[in-house]
Amino acid sequence: MGACSGDGVGGSSSGCGLVGDGYCLGMSLKSSISPVRWDPPPAPPERQPRDLDVQVVALPGEGPEDVLIDEDGSVITGLLDGRILRVSADGQTITPLADTGGRPLGIEWLPDGKVLICDANRGLLTLDKDNRIATLLGEVDGRPMKFCNNADVLPDGTIFFTDSSTRFGVAEWMADLLEHSSTGSVYRLTPDGELTRLVTGRPFPNGVALSGDGKTLFFAETASYALYKLDLTNADAEPVLVTAVPGLPDNIARGSDGLIWVAIGSPRNALLDFLLPKPPVLRKLVWALPEAVKPKAADVIEIQAYDDDGRLVHDLRGKHPDFRMPTGVRERDGKVWLSSIGTRTLATFRTPLR
């Protein structure tokens, strides 16, 4: 998760940044940042995305960051307060399943039918069919995970996941984007418990998705405005750029249509792009500003879908008064569900014809 938009950094109608009051936890005692200069790539050419018309489902809580679709069409999501919910396919029935006691972000199916939960504060958790929560992995490299974010799973149970930052936790995700210190990593966890760090020193690695044959791992780098891929058959492989994204990519997921769907949390931010190559003190000043004076987020929904060769298949943009800032996306059988840390709703639409 993580995004910023508009002409300034942060902001929302709640006066607490982009993500509502819940993400102001600890903001009165902000961590200090040590910005690193970075030259953003040129913005992609102006494009003409197709209009996106969504329907929304209201939830009894804030910040559904990711969404997972079950065989019956119902969806599972996790809220800011730690609750895991099941929402019926028609959106009429919402059932509480469990509470992680942390902040659930990415969610995935495991081969045994359990739900894998990336809890930003607690690490990799599992939810079984009796709605019991258990810890699968809480530490990496001898330290508690700071920002467990998103995952994907091979049929044999091998898990690939991101720890987006060693500097900042989920409550201060904006600090990581401003600092651009590149402390995120991508890991592999095998069923026998072997943990391997595949990629490190990355600027806010976020969503991950496996290729159809399971030989390539795609991952979004929010702070780089890009989608990368990693050859899993080569132990010495380095990440390769797949495509630039016209915004800040968040969660990604392979759909039943074989495409990699990308939630774009926000358009690129003009102020952030201006500040990143400038003297670091400027970003320190921005970080020190009160949240309430920062501009509002752009009320826009942007979603893209790519094939395994990096070709853009769907490019969608829309608006809805009750949904913005998509952070999660999931397609199944022609229906797409969206989630957002910035709302109290899920959104859904039918897949457009290619």
Place of tokens 């953003």: 40
Q: What is the pLDDT of residue 31?
A: 85
Number of H helices, E strands in the chain: 3, 27
pLDDT tier at 3 (50, 70, 90 boundaries)? low
Predicted confidence (pLDDT) per residue in 216-253, tens digit: 999 999 999 999 999 999 999 999 999 999 999 999 99
Give the strand order in the sheet containing 249-254.
50-52, 312-318, 301-306, 260-264, 249-254
Q: Which residues contact 190 (CB under 8 A, 6 or more apart)?
A: 157, 158, 196
The pLDDT of 287-297, averaged and rounded, is 73
Q: What is the pLDDT of residue 21?
A: 36
Strand partners, 339: 328
Report the 10 Å Cβ neighbour count for 11: 22
The pLDDT of 21-29, averaged and rounded, is 42
Q: What is the pLDDT of residue 289?
A: 87
Given a cut of 70, whether residue 90 has pLDDT beyond it is: yes
Least confident of 15-19, 101-105, 316-320: 15-19
pLDDT, mean over the chain: 91
Given a cut of 70, whether residue 296 has pLDDT beyond it is: no
Given a cut of 90, whether residue 15 has pLDDT beyond it is: no
Domain boundaries, the chain: 21-36+49-308+325-350
Pick the closest to residue 304 from 221, 241, 247, 222 (CA basis): 247
Tell me the whole-structure pTM to 2 decimals: 0.91
Q: What is the pLDDT of residue 23?
A: 39
pLDDT tier at 297 (50, 70, 90 boundaries)? low
Given a cut of 80, whether residue 7 has pLDDT beyond it is: no
pLDDT tier at 1 (50, 70, 90 boundaries)? low
The pLDDT of 117-126, averaged and rounded, is 98
pLDDT tier at 295 (50, 70, 90 boundaries)? low
CATH 2.120.10.30 fits 21-36+49-308+325-350, yes or no: yes
pLDDT tier at 2 (50, 70, 90 boundaries)? low
Given a cut of 50, whether residue 8 has pLDDT beyond it is: no
Identify whether the C-beta of residue 276 lies closer than 8 Å to the C-beta of residue 282.
no
Report the share of the chain in percent with pLDDT over 70: 90
Predicted confidence (pLDDT) per residue in 300-353, tens digit: 999 999 999 999 999 999 999 999 999 999 999 999 999 999 999 999 999 988
